[in-house]
Structures are given as C-alpha cells and as structure tokens.
C-alpha cells in the first residue's frame, strides 16, 4: 500500500515523535526507522525465540521420517519438516534486519542463552504423535501467528504472512494423520488418543506463554508480571492479544475438531459456557512445567545436543558457500577491471 503524504512526512521528521506517530497511524516500523532500544530488544527477543522454536521444532517429527507408514505420509511429513526449516530462515533473516547476525543468534541458542518453545522438550513416542503435534502445536502456532501478520515490525509481519499459509497446511496434515488412525483398528485409535493426551497440555500451556490475566488462572504475582510485559508489547503493536485470549481462541477451535475426530481432549473441565460464549477449561498451572521449561530436562539436553551436532555437521556447507561467494566477488572485480575471467 503506498504511504500517505502524512506518513512520509512523519518518517522524515523528528525520530522520537516519528516512531510514536507511525504506530499511532497503524503503519509498520521498518529497519531504517529510528526505534526505542526497548522496542528493538523486545522484537529481536521475540523473533529469535520464534526462529529457534521453528528449527528445534523439526526434531520430534523429524525423528519419524524414516518410519512413516507409507510413501504418501513420508512425502507430506518431509515437506512439513522442511517448511519449518524455511520458517526458521525467514525469521533469522528478519532478525538480521535489526543488526544481529544469524550466526550470533544460533550461537546464543546453542549456549542456552536464548530460549525456544518448551513444548518441543517432549518426546514423540509413536507415529500418532506426528499427527497430534501438527494438529495441536501447529494449530496453536496459527492462532498465535495470524495476528502477527499485522505486527508493528515490518520484516516480522511479512515473514509471518508466508509462514501462516504453510502452517495451515501443517494443521491439515496432522489432522489427516489422526483422522486415518481414528478410523483404523482399535489399537490405532488408542494410539491417536494417547498422542492427543500427551500433546494437549503442552500445546495449551507452552505455545501461548504464561497466563497474563488473573482470569486465565495466574496467581496475582505471575499475572502482574505477565500483564506488564503483554501491556508493553501491545502498546508497541508487537502483540495484538493477551496470551490468555489466544489460548481461549485455540481451545474454542479444538473442541469441535476433536469431536469430529472422535478423540477426547484430556481435560474434564472442558464444557461450553453459554454466558461467556466460549469453552471453559482447566486454568493453566504454569509451575507444573518447571521441569520442561528448565534446560536441565533430559529431552531439552537431547534437543540442544542434536542441534549443535547438526550445526557442526553442516560446517562444510557454510565453508563452501563462503568460498563460492568469495570467488564470485573476485570474478566480478576482475570483470570490472576488464581482465579475462
């Protein structure tokens, strides 16, 4: 959309006022715009955590690629896992527009200085887990990411628009895996139910972050902390909704889908609340995730070790790319000076 004359004038005006005026006009902040340090740090932290989650999130399902039950299932799972690598790339590229190198971000991940969604610190025990992960965690990702298509930092918003289209395919793919299992043998149906039992709570709790309203189940202290971060983020147009609003939206989406599938969501408190116009569910007890949230759990250590090993194994590719780029640059220089290449 072409910028209005007012917005163009604002971009060229006083830097402090310009930032606030762009936000007030609903315009996006671009890499060349002056922005408060706090805004830059908050956006960078969110993009980095998101990028890390995309690439660590490849692991639980990636482990099932060699054991997919058919060529068709293998092809779609492979495409899905590759998409996640691509999402990581878009996001690292978006982070680079804030002046931080991708290698630096990966280093921070590998040293445990930056986090990823702790949802992925759970193992995928059976083939059905690939279905439950895609239906539930990718489903939660869609709920989180659709509003991020309008987030205030331009490169992040543009990355999200592309990511969301692919995430929608992932959810369908996972739902389809579960759909087949639920219509298979009693043992296959049990497998599907078991996987849903394992992934429901990690998706509901960890894909949306800590409760940030007292109504969302947080004690007053957690709610106060969560609310102040959320409020700042919303004032800057980074977040558009509270964690608890998005969590509710996710539960509302999943209940009818679970009914159609024929699986039971493992929460006896789920029931339609006519007055609220939403499904009730058990409030998230954030403390119960302390083990998986910490870096010390066996699965977390395994995820990180695998990532570090994969990065080391790919060193020769990075070296080859650098050598090729250096040669191209050298050829370019020679051509510029009229020498034969």
Residue closer to Fe ion by CB (options 81, 293) is: 81
Report residue 178 as tokens: 């579960």
Q: Which residues contact 244 (CB under 8 A, 6 or more apart)?
A: 208, 211, 212, 213, 215, 216, 217
Closer to Fe ion by CB, 136 or 182: give it: 136
Q: How far apart are CA 323 and CA 267, in angstroms?
A: 55
Tokens (6 digits) for 68: 């997919």
Smallest CA-to-CA distance from 53 within 140, 147, 165 is with 140
Residues in CB range of 264: below 8 A, 6 or more apart: 193, 196, 258
CA distance to 49, 156, 167, 180, per residue, from 46 (Å): 5, 10, 18, 36
Binding of Fe ion at residue 170 (CB under 5 A)? yes
The count of residues interacting with Fe ion (CB under 5 A) is 6
- Residue 34 CB, shortest distance to Fe ion, in Å, is 31
CB of 167 to Fe ion, least distance (A): 5
Footprint (CB under 5 A) of Fe ion, residues 39-78: 54
Q: How far is the CB of 32 from Fe ion (least distance, A)?
A: 28
User: From the CB of 323, what's the least distance to Fe ion, in Å?
Assistant: 31
* Residue 159 vs 218, nearer CB to Fe ion: 159
Minimum CB distance to Fe ion, residue 268 (Å): 29
User: Is the Cβ of residue 174 or residue 237 nearer to Fe ion in the bound state?
Assistant: 174
Q: How far apart are CA 258 and CA 261, in angstroms?
A: 5
Nearest to 293 by CA among 70, 118, 32, 73: 118
Smaller CB separation from Fe ion, 23 or 89: 89
Question: Which residue, among 148, 142, 55, 38, has the nearest Cα to 98 in the 3D structure?
Answer: 38
Nearest CB to Fe ion, comparing residues 10 and 144: 144
Q: Tell me the closest approach of the beta carbon of residue 156 to Fe ion, in angstroms.
A: 14
Nearer to Fe ion among residue 74 and residue 232 (C-beta): 74
- Looking at the Cβ atoms of 93 and 270, the one nearer to Fe ion is 93
Contacting Fe ion within 71-130 (CB under 5 A): 84, 87
CB of 326 to Fe ion, least distance (A): 33
Contact set for Fe ion, span 241-300 (CB under 5 A): none
Residues 6+ apart with CB under 8 A from 96: 102
Q: What are the structure tokens assigned to 150, written together? A: 């309008």
110 burial level (CB within 10 Å; 0-12, 13-18, 19+): middle
CA dihedral of 30, 32, 33, 36, whole degrees rounded to 10 = 100
Touching Fe ion, residues 150-169 (CB under 5 A):
167
Q: How far is the CB of 226 from Fe ion (least distance, A)?
A: 24
Instruction: Note the residues at the interface with Fe ion (CB under 5 A).
Output: 54, 84, 87, 138, 167, 170
């Amino acid at each position: 959309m072409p910028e209005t004359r007012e917005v163009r004038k604002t971009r060229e005006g006083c830097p402090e006022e310009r930032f606030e005026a762009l936000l007030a006009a609903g315009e996006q902040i671009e890499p060349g715009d002056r922005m408060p340090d706090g805004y830059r740090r908050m956006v960078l932290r969110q993009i980095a955590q998101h990028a890390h989650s995309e690439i660590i999130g490849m692991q639980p399902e990636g482990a099932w690629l060699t054991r997919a039950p058919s060529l068709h299932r293998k092809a779609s799972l492979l495409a899905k896992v590759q998409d996640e690598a691509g999402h990581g790339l878009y996001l690292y590229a978006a982070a680079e527009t804030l002046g931080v190198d991708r290698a630096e971000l990966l280093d921070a991940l590998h040293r445990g200085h930056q986090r990823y969604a702790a949802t992925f610190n759970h193992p995928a025990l059976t083939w059905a887990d690939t279905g439950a992960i895609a239906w539930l965690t990718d489903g939660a990702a869609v709920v989180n990411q659709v509003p991020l298509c309008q987030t205030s930092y331009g490169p992040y918003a543009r990355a999200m628009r592309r990511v969301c289209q692919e995430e929608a395919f992932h959810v369908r793919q996972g739902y389809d895996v579960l759909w087949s299992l639920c219509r298979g043998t009693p043992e296959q149906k049990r497998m599907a139910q078991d996987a849903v039992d394992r992934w429901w709570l990690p998706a509901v709790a960890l894909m949306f972050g800590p409760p940030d309203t007292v109504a969302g189940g947080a004690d007053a202290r957690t709610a106060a902390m969560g609310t102040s971060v959320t409020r700042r983020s919303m004032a800057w147009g980074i977040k558009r909704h509270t964690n608890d609003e998005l969590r509710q939206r996710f539960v509302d989406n999943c209940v009818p889908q679970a009914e159609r599938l024929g699986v039971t969501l493992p929460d006896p408190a789920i029931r339609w609340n006519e007055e609220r116009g939403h499904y009730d569910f058990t409030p998230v007890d954030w403390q119960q995730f302390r083990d998986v949230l910490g870096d010390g759990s066996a699965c977390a250590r395994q995820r990180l070790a695998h990532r570090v090993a994969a990065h080391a194994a790919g060193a020769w590719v990075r070296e080859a790319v650098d050598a090729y780029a250096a040669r191209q640059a050298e050829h370019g220089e020679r051509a510029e000076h009229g020498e034969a290449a």
